[in-house]
Amino acid sequence: MAPLFARLAACVLGLLPALTTAQSVFAHVIVGNTGAYDIDQWKSDIELAASYGIDGFVLNIAPPFSGSTATQMSYAFQAANDLTSELGFKMFFSFDYLGGGSPWSESDVITILKAYGPNGAHFQVNGKPMVSTFEGPSNSDINDWTTIRNSIPGGIYFVPDWTSLGPGGFSTSLVDGAFSWNMWPDGPQNISTGADEAWENFLKPAGKSYMMGVSPWFYTDLPAYNKAWVWRGDDMWYRRWEETLNVLPEFVEIVTWNDFGESHYIGPIYASGIPSASNADARPYVDGFPHQAWLATLPYQIAAYKHAYSSSHPAPSVPSGGDKIVFWYRTAPAGAGSTQATGNNCKSSINIYGYQSCYPVTEILEDAVFAIVLLSNPGTATIQIGSNAATTFQGLKSGINLISIPFSGRYGQVTVSVSSGAKATGPAIVTSPSGGVANFNAWVGCAGSC
């Protein structure tokens, strides 16, 4: 009870945001990729996300609010409303100021928030609808939010992503919290919490909340949009969640549910949502590269984060019979095949964090098979590449474990197993990728209780 009491006391003093709806985990949904959804498809996505412990969707919408964007929002909220009493699943908007060719207009944002803010499926903090952005850092865009806040009866709980301005780049009096898009490593290193700590040091003294980004991967090859780079992913789906235990943000936003063009989707592949324009065709690197098995680690990771934040949440555990091994890898060595992608975002005109140094992709990426093993009791697991000898990992603990083996010149199908019996095989690691063109996306699979 002590931490709870301390937080409530701090809250009364205005030092921390209220506890009630914090410790929620959302997934970022690119509404532009859901243009062909119907209500049942939204329901299916919501039920899937909720079943793995995700509390809600952040709906990324670009202007204008008409046509398929408006239709999809009405479908999404109808679906969530139908399921809300059962699942408690909620949504809120990320107003995308870069995705629509022009920034959002103040009046459109007000219209949307008046329409959906009071909706029973809209996520609220202290009775106010939570609202986020993707960028929108110009002075005029920032000034709009004072008017927007004052135009919504009861106000809003405003947590923008103004990452390009950086911590200290705006006044905390304008916001209730902030979200940082800075969640991939720069160069061949592990993702660190440096940027998260800088944001927290900026926000906490003002009593504002922090929403931390967690992403499993990043690879994009869409030249028509000036996007062709890879950031280190490798074991990040394990490490970044571990980092939430140190950062203890009020909210976590998973990036993303369905951004196929940047290869960080954790939801199902939805064929008509994959960018397929001329010179901006993500199908060659998305088709046949499912990521949905990453969902299977979430119940444990989300429970661990919430418990670390507040012991009023139960400690994470793997139920008896719940053992699983979630494994992922690229299907060819990083140096095999041709590519126009760079290591780091070093050439693109789209760079909201400043230009980065270029690295050869072979320095950024580890040629390795990675796996998260979740066990109800201590045990072992194996990873095998082709017909080579399997590597056995002894002494794994109950709970969550990260294991990996390097390709080391081995090729063939990848087989994994856990001592409690589950076993699965994934596609072959090949000497040369299909068509001789590199694909830096990951294939993700799972064995056991997935």
Ligand X SMILES: *[C@@H]1O[C@H](CO)[C@@H](O)[C@H](O)[C@H]1NC(C)=O
Query: Which residues bind to ligand X, rule: CB under 6 A?
Result: 188-190
Q: Min. distance of Cβ 91 from ligand X in angstroms?
A: 35
Distance from C-alpha of 401 to C-alpha of 415, rounded to nearest angstrom? 18
Q: Which amino acid is at 417?
A: S
> 139 vs 189, which CB is nearer to ligand X?
189
> 177 vs 185, which CB is nearer to ligand X?
185
> 248 vs 402, which CB is nearer to ligand X?
402
First to last CA, the chain: 34
Q: Which amino acid is at 56?
A: G
What lies within 8 Å, CB to CB, of 173 at 6+ separation is 206
> 44 vs 362, which CB is nearer to ligand X?
362
Cis peptide before 64 (omega within 30 of 0): yes
- Strand 368-375, strand 324-329: pairing: antiparallel
> 116 vs 238, which CB is nearer to ligand X?
238
What lies within 8 Å, CB to CB, of 81 at 6+ separation is 119, 120, 121
Judged by DSSP in three states, 122 sits in strand
Sign of the Cα torsion 328, 329, 330, 334 reads positive
> 110 vs 364, which CB is nearer to ligand X?
364
Q: Secondary structure of the chain: what % helix, strand, coil (to 5)? A: 30, 25, 45
Q: Min. distance of Cβ 414 from ligand X in angstroms?
A: 21
Q: Min. distance of Cβ 27 from ligand X in angstroms?
A: 25
Q: Min. distance of Cβ 199 from ligand X in angstroms?
A: 22
Environment class of residue 205 by beta-carbon count within 10 Å: exposed (0-12), middle (13-18) or buried (19+)?
exposed
Q: Min. distance of Cβ 236 from ligand X in angstroms?
A: 10
Q: Min. distance of Cβ 189 from ligand X in angstroms?
A: 5
